[in-house]
A and B are shown apart, each in its own frame.
Chain A
């Protein structure tokens, strides 16, 4: 087996490029090609990481941001999931709510920031509201789509074999909708971080976005860059978790079968 195939087998290949970029960046900074007040060297960023870790500031801010992200996700995601299910299963519910939801969907949720600040100030509710609104739509749309695309022949089969409504839902409709729901989940996780960072950058007194804004005020470029790198890592972490869940629950799907 060649080195390249072995690396791609255990997922290490994806990390080659980021590692090379960091190495090149460090070399360029050391050689004086990049001025430190434009972009600090990776070693300087690592130094900032160490400093903030020791002071406890970094862990506290990551904790605050993660809690906000997950609470907002839980609220918006569960409402979106519930409405997606209701509208997928009931024509009455769809008729009543879908048009309204589609209209709201076309408003960029970040455009509501001025209004949200007026309503909630810079309290926790503002961030939760924006994150919840942001994750609501991808989850809603994909849950609805998933349920609508379940093979009607399988549903008929379930009825003919006497499955009651509950069994029909849990054994036929929900598993059939799951691949699409996961697409919505991964998309929503991306929106979750994006929304939170924008919201924290504009109006917050703690969290990663706030840390980055504070650092800008004091010209601590290494901390700004560190914050950006942490966003990238947190986003990747969330996506990896979603993919793991996907692999565990979609083992039947030909796309997830190996060998």
Chain B
């Protein structure tokens, strides 16, 4: 199959999955932006974004600094309200409360042990021994079960971000919003974290929305890549590459090239 055929510029309506089969979740909508705009004072940050995302999809949002990609994520997580347009969720009981946010920084409470930090993710969901048990299980998933009772200050940057990931996922969110969470990590730790994130996503089947400025990271992880430019969707691409994906493979490199060309030819 020629590489060009792998990349199909898509309409705004989501089409069924390509590389991954998700069973019953297949085709169900996770959330949809409809003509969403956001302005801060006179500055228009988002200008009519329409985006329909299928449940279980891994979406990457990329764009240059200040293009509004983080704002998009904050709207999704309910941290900000859109100035126009609407945001709907797949099921009525979902919505912001079932959306978890992972920040650029770990934002762990330095005065709480690692496991207590993870338990924050169970606020309103579980408490007491049940919360501890679930938090420990999640810490096991990210490979930090043996560090549960230590202070965050003794962990490395990558370990802290793994604790933050456990905190985000322990409540089993429908949607996980990630705001460049790997941006501050070194290259090797970063690849490790990408693999961890992909593995947990494959297990838990949540919808992931990853904001990043790293095109390589976007194509390595995502089913679909959206490029934001000047407050609008400039490009919407599927990444129909089978998993597990190999870093630096020709297919991924080709898609990455297409996106980079797009980012730098326009605007």
Contact = CB atoms under 8 A, between A and B. Distances in A.
Interface stretch (B102-110, B192-200, B201-209, B247-255): B102-110
Contact of B109 (A172, A178, A250, A257): A172
A163 B123 contact: yes
Interface string B7-22: 0000000000000000
A252 B123 contact: no
Contacts of B109: 154, 171-172, 175
Contacts, number: 48
A167 B120 CA distance: 10
A161 B121 contact: yes
A162 B124 contact: yes
Contacts of B107: 153-154, 156-157
A153 B120 contact: no
Nearest to A176: B111
Interface in A151-177: 153-154, 156-158, 160-163, 167, 171-172, 175-176
Interface in B142-170: 151, 153-154, 167
A158 to B, nearest CB: 7
A161 B151 contact: no
Interface in A46-100: none
A180 to B, nearest CB: 13
Interface size band for A: 20 to 34
A253 interface: yes
A255 to B, nearest CB: 10
B151 A157 contact: no
A162 B97 contact: yes
B92 interface: no
A171 B112 contact: yes
Contacts of B153: 252-254, 257
A253 B100 CA distance: 28
A160 B111 contact: no
Nearest to B167: A161
Interface in B40-93: 77, 79
A163 B171 CA distance: 14
A250 B111 CA distance: 8
26 contacts: A153-B105, A153-B107, A154-B107, A156-B79, A157-B107, A157-B120, A158-B120, A160-B79, A160-B101, A161-B123, A162-B124, A167-B123, A171-B112, A171-B120, A175-B109, A175-B111, A178-B111, A250-B111, A251-B151, A252-B111, A252-B151, A252-B153, A253-B110, A253-B111, A257-B151, A257-B153
Interface of A: 153-154, 156-158, 160-163, 167, 171-172, 175-176, 178, 250-254, 257
Among all A-B residue pairs, the 8 with the closest Cβ atoms: A175-B111, A157-B107, A252-B111, A162-B123, A252-B151, A160-B101, A161-B120, A254-B153
